[in-house]
Structure 1
C-alpha cells in the first residue's frame, strides 16, 4: 500500500546575494544631490560677491640700543664712596663737598650743603658698594639701585651698616654724567 520513496539527494540551491540598487530616483540620493548643488552654488555666489580685501603685512622694526652700563656703575660707585664717607674735621668736610660736587647737580649740592657739620660726632667710611640694577628710565636717564656697606664710628663705638639706595643718572651725548635725583 504505501510505497517507500527513496530519498534522492537534492542539489543545494544557489542563493543570490542581495545587492542594493541605488538609483537616481531614490529620495535619499536626490536629497544628497540637492545638498551638493546648493553648497557649490552658494560657494560660487560668495566668491563673486566677496568684498575685495587686501592684507597688509606690517613690519615693525625695533632698534635695540645697547648701552654699556659699566661707566654708569663706576660713576655711582665713586659717588657712593665720596658721599657716604665723612669725617668731622673742617678740611675733610670741605674736601668731601668739592668731591661730591663733581657728581651732583647744583640743586642737589645746595640741598646737601649742611648735611655734614663739624658739630656732628659721627664719622663714616664706605667699605663696599654693590650696584644691583641699572635700568634705562628715559632717553638719557638711568635709574641705578645700589647697596652701600659703611662703618659708622661714634666716639669709640663702631657699627657696620648696610643700606640700599636708588639714584637717577643723566648721561648727555658727550658721555658726561650727573646725578639728578
Structure 2
C-alpha cells in the first residue's frame, strides 16, 4: 500500500474520531391558541358590562323601599234614620187622592219635610181642579252617600200607580235627594 493511501485512511479515521456528535436542540414550535378570540371577546364583554353597571349606578333615580304599614279603619255610618226619612217623605210626596181633604193633609204632612220656599214651589204640583190621584206601590233606596256632616245624597226609586179619570198606569221613576 502506498504511503499516501495509508495516510488518507488515517486522516479519514482521524476525522471520524474528532467528530463529536452534536446534540440535537429541540425545535421550538409556536402554538396558535384557537380559543384566543373567544377569550378576548369574553374579556371585552365583561368590561362592557362592568362599565354599564357603573353608568347605571351613577345615573340611577334615588329610590328607596319603605316598608310602612297603614291601617285603614272603615267608619260605618248609621244611615237607617236617613233611609226612613226618605221613605216616609216619598210615601207622602208621591201619594194623594183627588179630594180637598187629601190634598190639604198632604200639604200639611209635607211641612215636616220641605222648607217654606220648597212648599211654595210645590203648591202648583198637585191641584184640586185636575182629576188625578196617585199612590205609591213600591219604594227602594239604591244608594246613600255622605257628602258632609249630617248631609247625604240618597238615590231611590218609586213605583207609582197614577189614576187619571178611568185610566190607570204604573210609573217607575228614580230620584236623587
Q: Give the Cα separation in 2 of the matches to 1:32 and 1:54.
A: 32
Equivalent position of 1:143 in the other structure: 154
SS in 1 for 2:147: coil
* Cα-to-partner distance string for 1:44-68 (whole Å, 9 max, x where unaligned): x337635672426487776544334
* Cα-to-partner distance string for 1:28-49 (whole Å, 9 max, x where unaligned): 3223223223433553x33763
Candidates 122, 130, 134, aligned match of 2:139: 130
- Unmatched 5+ stretches in structure 1: 1-20, 169-181
Give the RMSD, CA atoms, in angstroms.
3.4
> Which is bigger in relative contact order (C-alpha 8 A, separation at least 6)?
1
Q: Is the 8 A contact 1:133 1:145 kept in 2?
A: yes
Q: Give the Cα separation in 1 of the matches to 2:158 and 2:32.
A: 89
Q: Is the 8 A contact 1:131 1:147 kept in 2?
A: yes
Q: Report which of the two structures shows the higher radius of gyration computed on alpha carbons.
A: 2
Aligned residues: 144
Q: Does 1:92 align with 2:102?
A: yes
Q: Is the 8 A contact 2:98 2:131 kept in 1?
A: yes
Candidates 79, 92, 105, aligned match of 1:82: 92
Tell me by how many angstroms 1:112 deviates: 0.4
* Cα-to-partner distance string for 1:78-112 (whole Å, 9 max, x where unaligned): 11221122233333222111101212233221110
Equivalent position of 1:120 in the other structure: 130
SS in 1 for 2:62: coil
Tell me by how many angstroms 1:125 deviates: 2.8
* Cα-to-partner distance string for 1:102-160 (whole Å, 9 max, x where unaligned): 1223322111023223322233333x222151142733221312122325252xx2514
> Where do residues 1-181 of structure 1 align in structure 2 (5 Å cutoff)?
23=33, 26-43=36-53, 45-46=54-55, 49-50=58-59, 53-55=62-64, 57=66, 64-126=74-136, 128-136=137-145, 138-139=147-148, 140-152=151-163, 154=165, 157=166, 159-168=168-177
Scaled by the length of structure 1, the TM-score of the pair is 0.60
